[in-house]
A and B are shown apart, each in its own frame.
Chain A
Amino acid sequence: MNITVRVWRQPHADAEGQMVSYEVPDVSEHMSFLEMLDVLNERLTMEGDDPIAFDHDCREGICGSCGVVINGVAHGPQQTTTCQLHMRSFADGAVIDIEPWRAEAFPVIKDLIVDRSAFDRIIQAGGFISAPTGTAPDAHAAPIPKNQADHAFDAATCIGCGACVAACPNGSAMLFTAAKITHLGMLPQGQPERDSRALGMVGQQDEEGFGGCTNIGECTAVCPKGIPLETISRLNRDLLGAMLHGSR
């Protein structure tokens, strides 16, 4: 198939960016979206142009680094990561618009790469448990009901890609933060720091310049891991509880 891509090109963080068109002939429909960009980049390099900078690592949908906005939708037309998206999802002759995540808290570093370290700081503000290390605890020391374990595990699958922020009309990071709060809050090990976790993580989220959630649901519709909207209500309950307890 032959396609045209329009890509956001921005040489560095402080430069003005713009959309640039490239024809990409002879694309196999079995290529992944990133392989299509690899092919284009090889050609740009041969021609002495600057290749398009995009983030990627595992290319198997588990590291969360590859997100871009494709035709206005985070990660494109399939609800998966960009690396797991295939060219068969597009028609022959298609014109595909590719842009970086857009949010105040995710500044563009170059082309399609944004700085997502705001997410790391949210995790540092409470997305952990404090446990004394030493010998491994007995496997059955802390029994966990099956459905609680399932909820915790589902929430734990968040890969921190940031698609939720890129899709949110308010630029809110609630789905990401809520996934971690649900993951830890569902488990016995997460209980002692439940209040301080909610206050710390949501406080950091506000400080990073993410917007407030109005429960529109665009985040869950693009989340490659299908983190459900209920996690946000769980976060809200933990947050309201913590504010009522007046604890920190």
Chain B
Amino acid sequence: MALKALMAVSGLIMIGYLLAHMYGNLKVFAGQASFDGYAEHLRTLGEPILPHAGLLWIIRVVLLAAVLGHAYSAFSLWSRAHKARGGSKRYQTSKSKLGVQRSYASFTLRWGGVVILLFVIFHLLHFTWNTIHPGGAADSPYVRVVNGFSVWWVVLAYTLAMVAVGFHLRHGMWSALTTLGANTSAIARHRLNLLAYAVAGVVTIGFLLPPYSILLGLVT
């Protein structure tokens, strides 16, 4: 019963984080000093009330809890749904496989979520733990970003992942708000769907601007 609420709340926490993270990434357009300064600023935020990098660690703990809660509820609801609908072979007919009105995004929610999970691991290895460095290693976060996104397959991987995120948020955001009780009328439904489209679009495009600008040589 509470799994759906956990799914929705953890999803919304991650959406909040994604919006902030995307805004931070856009600082590459302001140059190396600004971007590296921002990375440093994240670590000093909240001082002296919090220790160095304190807020960052709080965010990391909350995010980790959100990811674990989200993945746990996703997989248990997935397996419950699979059983409830009567397995993978439900109807014999080959007609109406696409449903009556459902969106493409609603089909991609689960496997898209798995794609995002794999991507998040790759992304952490790349920029957070600095264990893999396509394009060349560096101390400056700015230089690492520019090096990484000069490699075509890195940009391709980010593109696929961000499109998956876009689809996931298109249905996920609408679904989370409905699960939390916000869909109160036909007008509210219309607004929630528009909001989900807007957030999905902003996140996808916002995250893809830096990689493409770097690949095309607009940012060096």
Contact = CB atoms under 8 A, between A and B. Distances in A.
Contacts of B94: 72
A102 interface: yes
A212 B4 contact: yes
Contacts of B83: 104, 171, 209, 211
B11 to A, nearest CB: 11
A172 B183 contact: no
Interface stretch (B29-37, B114-122, B151-159, B173-181): B173-181
B183 A230 contact: yes
Contacts of A172: 81, 84
**Which secondary structure dominates chain B's binding surface?**
loop
Interface in A70-113: 71-73, 97, 99, 102-105
Interface in B77-117: 77, 80-81, 83-86, 90-97, 99-103, 106, 109
A32 interface: no
Interface stretch (A38-46, A52-60, A131-139, A237-245): A237-245
- Which of B84, B97, B106, B175 has its CB near the most chain A CB atoms (within 10 A)? B84
A123 to B, nearest CB: 18
Interface residues of A, number: 46
A217 interface: yes
Interface residues of B, number: 41
- Which of A172, A234, A240 has its CB near the most chain B CB atoms (within 10 A)? A240
A195 B99 CA distance: 34
B184 A234 contact: yes
B81 A170 contact: yes
B81 A230 contact: no
Given A215-B174, A232-B178, A71 B93 contact: yes
B216 interface: no
A213 interface: yes
Contacts of A179: none
B93 A105 contact: no
B97 A72 contact: yes
Contacts of B5: 240, 243
A51 interface: no
Given A99-B91, A202-B1, A218-B101, A104 B84 contact: yes
B102 A217 contact: yes
Contact of A169 (B77, B81, B184, B188): B81
Contacts of A148: none
A234 B189 CA distance: 13
Contacts of B49: none
A236 interface: yes
Contact of A237 (B80, B97, B171, B181): B181
Contacts of B99: 167, 169, 216, 218, 221
Nearest to B188: A230
B77 A212 contact: yes
A8 B189 CA distance: 37
Contacts of A215: 171, 174-175, 178-179, 183
Interface of B: 1-5, 77, 80-81, 83-86, 90-97, 99-103, 106, 109, 171, 174-175, 178-186, 188-189
Question: 8 tightest CB-CB pairs across the interface, nearest first?
Answer: A72-B96, A171-B84, A211-B84, A237-B181, A171-B85, A211-B81, A97-B93, A170-B81
18 contacts: A72-B94, A97-B93, A99-B92, A169-B81, A169-B102, A171-B81, A172-B84, A214-B171, A215-B179, A218-B100, A221-B99, A221-B101, A230-B184, A230-B189, A232-B178, A236-B178, A243-B2, A243-B5
Given A215-B179, A243-B5, 4 more contacts: A72-B96, A202-B1, A216-B99, A221-B101
